[in-house]
Amino acid sequence: MLRITRKSHDLPLIERGPLVQVWINGSQVNAYLGETVAAVLIANGYRTFRLTDKKQKPRGIYCGMGICFDCTVEIDGVPDIRSCITKIRDGMVIKTGGTANG
């Protein structure tokens, strides 16, 4: 079995893409090309990405691989985009159904 041990410094460094700016619910934040929208949302304190239609229950990352549609957000005016499989673009405008830290 392969496990990550304290020798993890032997692993290659992860290089970030270029710094870009995106908008989340009207606030400008930093992001790095190559990150997913979901990663940027989580890095900025968002846990609720949308609310369910019927009962307004909070939803966020669940499967993390494009299967469940729990992570959908509005991107550049297009609703219901899966944030976990969508890469950041410079100037992207993201709208969630939740607030930072909620």
Interface contacts to ligand FES, rule CB under 6 A: 61-64, 66-71, 82, 84
Nearer residue to ligand FES within complex by CB, 31 or 38: 38
Q: What share of the chain is helix, strand, coil (3-state, %, to 5)?
A: 15, 30, 55
Q: Which is nearer to ligand FES, 2 or 65 (CB)?
A: 65
For residues 31 and 20, is the Cβ–Cβ distance under 8 A? yes
Residues 56 and 18: their CA atoms lie apart, in Å, by: 36
- The nearer residue to ligand FES, 42 or 100, going by C-beta atoms, is 42
Looking at beta carbons only, is 19 or 62 nearer to ligand FES?
Answer: 62
